[in-house]
Structure formats: C-alpha cells, structure tokens
C-alpha cells in the first residue's frame, strides 16, 4: 500500500467523510485443497456438509472470510475449525479465485482456493461445521465409479489443484512437503509416482535428484530404515533450494 499519498490533507479529508456506498456486496469464502499421500495414493481432504445446500455431499474445507482477516488467514482458520488440522509453518499457496455468478445456488459467492501438501500423519476429524472429515484418493474422486458427490464447483477446483501440484513437482522442491523430516530417495520417488501417476526409473531418478543443487541433503543419521524389505537406505532431508534446476520433468506435458 502506498501510505505516503494517503497522508495528504485532501486524501485524509476524503477518507474522514467517506461513507460506504450502497453497494450490493459479495459473500466471500476461502477454500483449501489439502493433498497428502496415503498408501501410495494421492489423496485429498473432504468434509461432509452438515447443512443445505448440498447437504450430505462432500466439499473441500473452507468457509466465509471474516471482515478483519485475509483469505489466507480464513483458509487456515476454517481448515482448523472443520478438521482440527493446523498448517503451522507448512507450505501453502493460492490456487485461483472462482467468481462465476451461479457457482453457489443461494447467492453470489466469490471463493479463493488454496492448495497445500502435508505428510501422511495427522488424522483429521470432523469439526464445528462439518459432520465428517475424510481423506479420499484423488483417482476415486475424479474418475471413480464410487460416485462421491461433490458440492458447488469443487470438482473444478480439485482438478485445478491437481494440475497445480503435478506441475509444481517439476520445478519446485514441494515433493518433500509430503514427507516427514527425513526420508529416503525411494520415498521421494514414490511421491512423484503417486502424484504423476507414472512409474519413474529408479536409478535415473536418484541421479537427477542428487545432481539438482539444494533439493535434498544427506541426513546425519545414516543408514536408517524405511521398513521395507531390502537394503537399508540413506536418509535425506529437505535442502534449501526454492526452485529446482535442472527441473525434474514428467513425460506427458
């Protein structure tokens, strides 16, 4: 914000006398797509709606933004209220804003959606506004025959979020956000395989990751295990790179 200009006398005078216009006004919500990987399946968090409209249908967590908070703050607050999940210090980013006039059957609602990626650790529970919170495999939600009824335009939001996380893995180190503090290169590779839905070449993947500066660094604790049969693997932790170059590219682009 440009503060200097606003301190001019005539600007101050205008603001002192300013009366909010009789402008219709919009309802404004913040929603968040929470991705994680469960049993090798890219999954996301849905809550079952307790009230109308779309009563009993599934929706991504979210809700109305308060007058005193940003939509970023609202997304985190609603997520916590509805599922108990706290994203403290966890990566999340703005996805897109949805403003189609008919996207909410009640009234005009603008929604800004966010995306986040979390390790498979916390077990979400239903909170204030929701009956139930549950992780579903993305494949089941989108192509699934299991008919998971989604609310509003949330299928569109989920598809946009999916494309975001898929492309984000290429040029940023966010794949590590899906993992605990230390992990093996196989763990990291499985993140890519789950998100992209394709198998990657094991040793080529290793070489690419290790030759990309700042992606991962070896953890001091060496030779720990991942609880799988086979040779014990070196543990790594997140490096300090914000962007990957060279990028880890997927095949189908």
Selecting among 13, 72, 93, 132, the annotated active-site residue is: 132
In the list 69, 131, 198, 228, the residue contacting DNA (rule: CB under 7 A) is: 228
State the virtual CA torsion across 140, 142, 147, 148 in degrees, nearest 10: 80
- Give the Cα separation of 164 and 186 in Å (integer): 23
The residue among 59 and 188 lying less far from a copy of itself, judged by its C-beta, is 59
Q: Is 219 near DNA (CB under 7 A)?
A: no
- Give the Cα separation of 19 and 2 in Å (integer): 21
For residues 27 and 115, the answer to whether their CB atoms sit within 8 Å is no
Binding residues among 179-208 for a copy of itself as defined by CB under 8 A: none
Least gap, CB of 8 to a copy of itself (angstroms): 9
Q: Is 92 near a copy of itself (CB under 8 A)?
A: no
- Which span (17-25, 113-121, 149-157, 199-207) binds DNA, by CB under 7 A? 199-207
Least gap, CB of 218 to DNA (angstroms): 9
**Measured between alpha carbons, how far is residue 55 from residues 18, 51, 149, 154 in Å?**
41, 5, 10, 14
Q: How many CB atoms lie within 10 A of CB 140?
A: 14
Ranges of beta strands (E only) in 72-169 are: 92-98, 109-117, 130-137
- Give the Cα separation of 204 and 89 in Å (integer): 32
Partner in contact with 233, chosen from DNA, a copy of itself, none, beta carbon below 5 to 8 Å by kind: DNA
Least gap, CB of 13 to DNA (angstroms): 54
Q: For tokens 């290429």, what's the residue?
A: 170
Q: Is 248 near DNA (CB under 7 A)?
A: yes
Partner in contact with 185, chosen from DNA, a copy of itself, none, beta carbon below 5 to 8 Å by kind: DNA
The residue among 57 and 233 lying less far from DNA, judged by its C-beta, is 233
User: Catalytic site residue 163?
Assistant: no
Catalytic residues, which ones? Answer: 132
């Amino acid at each position: 914000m440009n503060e200097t200009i606003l301190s001019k006398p005539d600007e101050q005078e205008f603001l002192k006398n300013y009366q909010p216009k009789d402008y219709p006004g919009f309802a404004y919500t913040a929603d968040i797509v929470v991705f994680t990987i469960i049993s090798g399946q890219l999954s996301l968090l849905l809550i079952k709606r307790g009230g109308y409209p779309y009563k009993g249908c599934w929706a991504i967590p979210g809700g109305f933004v308060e007058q005193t908070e940003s939509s970023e703050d609202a997304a985190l607050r609603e997520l916590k209220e509805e599922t108990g999940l706290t994203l403290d210090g966890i990566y999340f980013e703005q996805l897109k804003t949805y403003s189609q006039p008919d996207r909410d059957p009640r009234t005009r609602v603008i929604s800004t959606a966010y995306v986040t990626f979390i390790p498979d650790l916390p077990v979400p529970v239903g909170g204030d506004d929701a009956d139930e919170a549950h992780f579903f495999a993305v494949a089941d939600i989108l192509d699934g025959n299991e008919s998971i009824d989604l609310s509003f335009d949330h299928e569109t939001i989920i598809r946009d979020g999916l494309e975001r996380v898929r492309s984000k893995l290429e040029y940023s180190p966010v794949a590590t956000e899906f993992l605990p503090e230390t992990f093996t290169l196989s763990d990291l590779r499985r993140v890519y395989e789950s998100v992209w839905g394709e198998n990657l070449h094991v040793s080529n993947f290793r070489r690419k990751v290790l030759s990309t500066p700042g992606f991962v660094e070896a953890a001091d604790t060496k030779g720990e295990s991942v609880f799988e049969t086979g040779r014990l693997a070196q543990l790594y932790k997140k490096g300090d790179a914000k962007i990957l170059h060279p990028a880890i590219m997927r095949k189908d682009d």
